[in-house]
Every structure is written in C-alpha cells, then in structure tokens.
Structure 1
Amino acid sequence: MDLLFYGILNCITTCSWFLSHKQGMRSVKTPFQMQIWKGCSPPQWKKKHSGSKGESAIVACHPAESPIPASWFNSKSGKKIPLKSVTSIVDGLKKSYIEKLRPLEKTYQFQDFVSPLLTSSDFDAKPMVMLLGQYSTGKTTFIKHLLKTSYPGAHIGPEPTTDRFVVITSGPDERCIPGNTIAVQADMPYSGLSSFGTAFLSKFECSQMPHPLLEHVTFVDTPGVLSGEKQRTQRSYDFTGVTSWFAAKCDLILLLFDPHKLDISDEFKRVIGSLRGHDDKIRIVLNKADQVDAQQLMRVYGALLWSLGKVLNTPEVMRVYIGSFNDKPIRETAAGPLGMKLFQKEQDDLLSDLNDIPKKACDRRINEFVKRARAAKVHAHIVSHLKKEMPALMGKAKAQQKLLDSLDEQFAKVQKELHLPPGDFPSVEEYRELLSSYNFDKFEKLRPKMVQGVDDMLAYDIPELLKKFRNPYD
C-alpha cells in the first residue's frame, strides 16, 4: 500500500508540474523568458560533487547560467553586403548604393531635389579639378602650365575667350567632343548634365588628348564669371546650377583672382554661394602676382582677404596661394629676390596639393558617398513629415501653403523629434522653392526598414569595407 500510495503521489506531482510548465510556456512572450524556461527545465538538474566520495548534492541550474546569444545585442537589421563578392572599395560602394541607398533616393525623389541618381561611371570616374574665376584671370593658362602644352580647343586672350565648360581628359587622340554627345556616353560621368537642357549642352564640350597627367586627373575649364555691365546679359542656362553640379563631383576647386580684378561681382558671389557644403575643396589662388611690386602685393593680399570674408561667411581665414602660374619666368624686377622665393614656395605648396589628389581620391569618394547618404536620409524624413502633416480630406491646398510658409519650423520639428544633426539639413529657401511645385499629398510615407538599411550601411558595411580594403594609391 505504501508503494502504491507513493507511486500515485509521484504521478500527481509530475502531472501538475508538467501542466504548470506548459501553461508558463504559453505565456512566454520574449526570447529572454524562453531562455529562462528552457534553462530551468527538469532535465537540466545536475550533480554537484563534494570533497568526500559518494556524497553528492542536487543543484538546480540558475537562469543566469544559461547563455544569451550575442546576436540579440546587435541592433543591425537588414541584409549585409557580402564582402566575398566585393573586389575593391569602389566596388563595395557601388553595391551598397544599388542595394540600399538608391531605393531610398528613388522612393523620395531625391534626384529632383538634391542630386541626380548615380551611375556606374560616377564611381569609376577619375578625380576632377575645376577652375573658377573672372575672365582673364589665367584659368586656361594654368591648365596649360600644368600640362606643359595646350589642349584642343583652348583659346587664351585678354578678353573673355573661354565661352563654354570644357572637360580636359585623356584619350587616344586629340579631338573635341560636343556636349550632347558626351552627355549620352555611358562610360562618361556627365549624363546628369542633360537636366540643364540643350542650351547648356551647346556650351559644353570634352577635349581629349593623350597625356600622362590626364590619366590620373581630369580638369574642368569654365567660362569667365561676368562683372559690371556684362553680367546684366543673362546666360541661356543656369550657370550657378552647373557649377554646383560640378562642385559635387570635383575633388578640388580653384578660385583664381587677378591683382587688378579683386572686385567680386553679383554673379561671382552667386557662384561662390553655390559651392556651399564643399568648403574643404576650395583653394584660393592669387595669380599673376608678379605683375605688382612687393608693396602693392601686400595691399592686394589684404584687399582680397577682406573681399572674401564678406562672401564666404566662415570664421576661418582661407589659405591663399600666391604665384604666377604660366610658362614665362617670374619678373624679378617686380617681385625682387624675396618675392621670387615666396612665389616658388607657394607654387610648390599648391602643386604638392594637386599631386596628392589621386591619393586622396578614394577617401574623397567615401566622404562624398557618406555625405550623400546622410542628405538622402534627412530628405526622406522631411518629405514623409510633410506628407504626415497633410489633412486626410479637405483643406489640402491651404495646409500645404501653411507648411511651406513655416518650413523652417518644420525642419526644426523633424530635427528635434529624430535627433538629427542640424548641419545635415538643406537650405530652407532652396527647398521651399523646389517644394512649391509638388503636391505633398503624393509623397511617400516613411519606410523605417528602408531608412534602417541606410543606417546599417553607414554603421557596419562601410567600416567593414575600409577594414578589408586599402587605398590603391597607398
């Protein structure tokens, strides 16, 4: 009877434990609770041996002893770019753009507001150097001085001779390619210029020639910026828009000044303003400095810094390179012995900066890619916020106008809610002008998974890419 009684009692105890255990499993909602239930199940009882033989104590497994997978603490979600299929940093950026950034840009029409969609040729393009300045400041002569020869289609004179944007690049033979032709070539990174229309493409051309320097760097020669009465004649295309497009693609921007032309015209001020966001690429060059003596050069240098301080709106003083970048020897009578040494050192510093462009091109490309990704993410938040603020049925036109009028407040609201850096936000006035032609109700809602994919790309994919591959010029 005792054996029968203890057997029945043991059976009841086991069944009650099983039912309570099963009920507890039903109420489990989190992976951590699941791990606790699994870790403390009866099969995991273990023996704890004491010092003496034959003695043993039964000890239950504590929940803290069950290991928690490290993947639970990894906030990364979404697909990771497999590095096995990547051959270089540029190839990795290409795949990251196609799989994660490009879908976000297309969904929220980033190409209509900030920059056209990138193509494969944009990643494979050589480093570019753009020269800007008023007419007759020596832009074409500067390129000729670096190449030690003239390029096809170059015109030099005291009057405004370069009336078009000219891209000087390497090629099998010397020839000039019209703008409409080069804009449709898939192997050239200039397809985005088609958005400026035929009026601009007729003022754009590519000059090709075989040259060892052009195998590593591409130069962009620009028309002279107008001043005085000449700037009242409007150009047939958006000059500042084109310079802004090239500024985003270029690795270095040279602003050339003449000692006798230090005034900054309205058009030149707009051009410098279009370089906003690319301050690290700008270099100031005071060309033809040997045409004035030492005393006049000191006054010219001070006047140039004063003029630039009113336009650039930066608390730091810009570095100004002084020299005479042409094939003629420096005029010793004007500069003097000290001036010649100064010019030589300044020219060496600038040429050293230019020589480092291919080495820094990979880092610059990563920098521009990250900058673009951050801008696209902010744009997506802005557009989806405006969509969310629109009413469901009536009064849409009035609500949209109200949002446009208070766009700076909407930017501040998005920045505060999502803790985004204020420096990533675009110009309010430029965005207001662009948004005025769109219907906010047609914008897409925010897709958190898509934005999270871009965040993962910036936090994981690109650092791993840099860890695996090195700069090819190192």
Structure 2
Amino acid sequence: MTEIDAPKADATAPSPTSDFEVASLKNPDYVRKFDRVIDDLQDVYSHKIRPLEKAYNYEHFSSSAPLGNDDIAAKPMVLLIGQYSTGKTTFINSLLKKSYPSSHIGVEPTTDRFVAVMDNPTDRIIPGNAAAVSSALPFKGLDKFGQAFLSRFQVSQTPSPVLQNFTIVDTPGILSGDKQRDRGYDYTSVIEWFAERADLVLLLFDSHKLDISNELKAAIHALKGHEEKVRVVLNKSDMVNQQQLMRVYGALMWSLGKVVHTPEVMRVYLVSIWLERPPNAFDDCRTLLDSEKKDLLMDLQQLPINAAIRKVNEIVKRARLARVHALIMAHLRDQMPSFYGKAAALKQLSDNLPREFQAVSKKFRLPMGDFPDVEKFREALYGMKFEQFGALNEKLLMASDEALGTDLPELLQRLPHHSSFTGTTARPELDSEDEDFDDDNNDPKHPLKRNLTRTGTRSRYAPVKPERDMSAIIYNIVLFTLVLFFTTIVGGGIAMKMGWVDGMGPLIEFLKPQV
C-alpha cells in the first residue's frame, strides 16, 4: 500500500505510524498490573453494581445493556463517522498500511455497511449475524436492531500491529443534502449503541464539503453525553491554500456550533490522508498538517491507557445513575396505595414525574443532573405493574456506594497516568512505592478482594435516610391494632361456633349473642 504522503523525516526519528504500541504496554510487569485492574473492575461491577441494576430493572429504563466481562475487557474502540467523500476508508487503510486487496479483507469503500476492523492472525470476514452472537467479540446486543442491520454489518479481521491495541468501526458514508435512502433500520440508534461503547469518536469532514445533512445531524445528536470522546478531523486539508483553509476551518466551527451544543470547543485535527497524493495539492500548510497528523496519531497511541481510565469512569457514571434509579423506583412504590387504585395512582405519578423527581432529589440530597430524562422514563413506566417496583434495599445500595466510595477510586489509583484524568474521586498520585502495592498476586488480604466479601458495610457514599413521617407511623399502628382486634373477635367466634374451644368463660358468654 502506498504510504501517506508527507515530507521526508530524519531517518533516525521514529515514525509515528510505524508502531502504535505504547512503550509501557511492552513491559510485562505493566501488562500484568493492567490486566489485574481490568479483572478487579469486572468483579466490582458484577458483585456490587449489577445486583442493584437487576433488582430495579435498570436496563428497561435505560438504553444501556448489562455489561459482561467481555465488554469490560474488550479492546478500545474507535468509531468513524462522516459523509461519503470524507475518505474514511482511505484513513483506515492508511493506518493499517494496507490497500484494499482482492480477498476483500480490509475496508471497502461503501455507503451502506458497518465494518468492524479487528486484529487476527489470519484474514477472514465474519458476517453480522455470527458476530452478534459470538462470545469472543464485543458486539452482543446488536441483534436487537434486526436482520436489516445485521445483513449490513460485518467484522473484517486481519493481522496488524495497529489493531492489537484497538478496534476500528467504520460507519456507512452519509450522503449530503436530502439524498438519504431508507436503510431499513434505525441508523441513529445504531450510532448511539456504538458511541456508548467507543473510546474515541472521529467525525470526518471534507474540506470541500462542509454541509451537515439531516442524517449526519441526527448522528451527531446521538453522541450527546459522549462529547468528551469526540474529535473532529478535517481531511483533505491540502486541497485548499492557507488562506482558504482558514475560511474552511471557520465555516466548519460555525456549522458544528449549530449542531453540537456544548460550551467547550471541540478539538479539530487538520490533516490530509491520501493513498495517492493528487498533483494539485498545496504545500504551503504542510508543516501544520504534519504536526496535526502527529497529534492525531498520538491520540491513537495513548488510547489503550486512556481507555482503561474511561472504563472506570463509565462504570462510576453507570453506578451513580443506577443508584438514582433505584431510589426513584423505591420512592414511587412508597407513593402507591396498598390495596386498590394502583393503576390510577401510577398514571398520576407518571403525569407528575418532574415533581416526584424533585421530591427524591430533596429527600436523598441528589443532584438533578443525575436524574433520567422525564419523557423517556415516563415512556418506560407504561405497562409496568406494581409488583415490578422494588422496595428500598439498603444492602444493595450500601454495596454500590462502597464501590463508588472505595473500590473504583482505588482501581483508578492503580492505573498509570490517572492524574491526567479529571472529575474523579481519586486521591493524589501515589509515589512509586505505594503504586506497587498490588504486586503480590497471591496475597489473600488484597484490599479490593476483601471489600468484595463485605457488601452492605457503610461508606461515605451511603444514602442519606429521610426523616421518618410520624403521621404515617401513627396510621400504621392504628391500622395494625384494628386489624388485630377484629381478627381476634372473628377468630374467637368461629372457634366457639365450630366447637374448637370449651370453657372460655366470660369471653364465650360475651360472644354467644352475636354469633
């Protein structure tokens, strides 16, 4: 395959495309620690977070499917999204240093197919139906999009040192304007599924075609909540001169500003990747384009380490959302009547969800930013029965809170370069002596393993118990007393009538006239 055209560099300087392995990943000791963190992360999720999700039917109210060990241990995933002429196929084959061969292994230029490119000792293609049920591949759950999608999805496996560190998912090219065809499946939902599992999302644009079609706009909206993963790539930047490039860059940022509603400016890479560089390419920005390309490749090089940090972050976010969901469900159950009128009460609660969310937020001191979308939650409530609402289970809550307050921050500390990750509860960077505290694989007193056996202990993330409602307590006491009294009277009368008792004295004499 033809190399990416660029100025000749010093022969002694390492080429950023020649080896995508991060240096630390070649260290066996580092790899061992890295694998142990992933193993312990699987344990934390399966023992302390998944039980809470299952008890309160979290997946029914969320688009997030339950995480399996294969999902947590999967290689990092890079998702490419772009319109038809952006050069996504060229971009992938250039990274792999492979042209599209006659054996159809690789990425074929296409407008209607999802292609996952993965590493494998031999070249082969796995059809979508087989890939969606394979336990060795991280694509379980795609079968919910139906046969129309699976027939347009495939896994392309080929030996490549690049793919040893991450998987690339190429999406169908999006046609400009209103030329979209009926794909036969929900394209936006598929993009959302992949974006949730991806570690890096690259939005590719062509320097000559910056228009954002309706389908591309819908795909960008599907990335909401994953903005920290998104990078923009302006490809074919050498097809315009320096002055024009400045205008193109400004126009691109203006167009994105109308679609991506975030206060932060997205990172935009100005690159030009060709299999064969056209003769009319401009060279006045070559130094800038080379620097931008190196930055992009460095982003890909650091992906394995950053992906591990992201996995911890995603499970922290998932645990927080599952915790809030459990408290909402327990609160709705408390508002339901005990005997009759449950359907009407559920409809009333559904109509007043914003008020109920506010009540839960105030009762348990929860930020409203952790609450689900009202309309999606209301839609999920339809068809539910009272028996599906779980009562407040403090043991499950304590276990998930311990994961949030102790286990996950501890795992984050054991990952290298975690200090570059912001927004976590991890303590400051450990020194080298403390960082090796997990060297003994056979230590039965490993802190994390010990924590997994003591679910239910109180942590600093334990939910705040609301004040007891005295009127409800009095009501329950009176109701219990009345039930007990009438049960005694009726039971005594039946016993006397049936002759089960004899000589009960004054009580029987009192009951005789009433029976």
Q: Assess, with a 3 A threshold, how the Cα gap between structure 1 residues 416 and 469 changes in structure 2: closer, same or farther.
A: same
Is the CA contact 1:321–1:347 (under 8 Å) kept in the aligned structure 2? yes
Is the CA contact 2:106–2:158 (under 8 Å) kept in the aligned structure 1? no
* Equivalent position of 2:150 in the other structure: 201
Equivalent position amino acid for 2:66 in 1:
L
Once the two structures are superposed, residues 387-418 of structure 1 have per-residue CA deviations (whole angstroms, 9 ceiling, x without a partner) of 33333344433333333333233222222221
Corresponding position: 1:104 with 2:52: yes
What's the offset of the Cα at 1:179?
Answer: 1.0
Corresponding position: 1:123 with 2:76: no
Q: Assess, with a 3 A threshold, how the Cα gap between structure 1 residues 393 and 267 changes in structure 2: closer, same or farther.
A: farther
Corresponding position: 1:144 with 2:93: yes
* Equivalent position of 2:255 in the other structure: 307
Separation of aligned partners in 1, 2:417 and 2:147: 39
Separation of aligned partners in 1, 2:235 and 2:244: 14
Task: Tell me the SS of whatever aligns to 1:190.
Answer: coil
Corresponding position: 1:420 with 2:369: no
**Pair member with larger Rg:** 1
Is the CA contact 1:119–1:189 (under 8 Å) kept in the aligned structure 2? no
Separation of aligned partners in 2, 1:268 and 1:140: 17
Corresponding position: 1:406 with 2:352: yes
Larger mean Cα displacement after TM superposition, 301-310 or 421-430: 421-430
Task: Tell me the SS of whatever aligns to 1:191.
Answer: coil
Q: Assess, with a 3 A threshold, how the Cα gap between structure 1 residues 165 and 387 changes in structure 2: closer, same or farther.
A: farther
Q: Assess, with a 3 A threshold, how the Cα gap between structure 1 residues 87 and 279 changes in structure 2: closer, same or farther.
A: closer
Separation of aligned partners in 2, 1:398 and 1:163: 47
Task: Tell me the SS of whatever aligns to 1:237.
Answer: coil
Separation of aligned partners in 2, 1:394 and 1:251: 49
Corresponding position: 1:278 with 2:226: yes
Separation of aligned partners in 2, 1:224 and 1:326: 17
Is the CA contact 2:115–2:156 (under 8 Å) kept in the aligned structure 1? yes
* Equivalent position of 1:323 in the other structure: 271
- Identity across aligned pairs (percent)? 51
Is the CA contact 1:387–1:442 (under 8 Å) kept in the aligned structure 2? no
Corresponding position: 1:266 with 2:219: no
Is the CA contact 2:321–2:370 (under 8 Å) kept in the aligned structure 1? yes
What's the offset of the Cα at 1:216?
Answer: 1.0
Separation of aligned partners in 1, 2:343 and 2:208: 53
* Equivalent position of 2:121 in the other structure: 172
Q: Map of 1:36-435 to 2, 5 A cutoff?
A: 88-114=36-62, 115-150=64-99, 152=105, 154-156=107-109, 161-231=110-180, 233-329=181-277, 334-337=281-284, 339-435=285-381
Is the CA contact 1:88–1:469 (under 8 Å) kept in the aligned structure 2? no
Equivalent position amino acid for 1:96 in 2:
V
Is the CA contact 1:131–1:253 (under 8 Å) kept in the aligned structure 2? yes
What's the offset of the Cα at 1:443?
Answer: 2.0
Equivalent position amino acid for 1:295 in 2:
Q
Separation of aligned partners in 1, 2:267 and 2:115: 27
* Equivalent position of 1:45 in the other structure: none
Once the two structures are superposed, residues 236-295 of structure 1 have per-residue CA deviations (whole angstroms, 9 ceiling, x without a partner) of 222111111111111100001112322222222221111111111000111112222223
Q: Assess, with a 3 A threshold, how the Cα gap between structure 1 residues 266 and 229 changes in structure 2: closer, same or farther.
A: closer
Unmatched runs of 5 consecutive residues or more in structure 2: 1-33, 419-434, 436-515
Is the CA contact 2:111–2:174 (under 8 Å) kept in the aligned structure 1? no
Unmatched runs of 5 consecutive residues or more in structure 1: 1-85
Q: Assess, with a 3 A threshold, how the Cα gap between structure 1 residues 102 and 291 changes in structure 2: closer, same or farther.
A: same
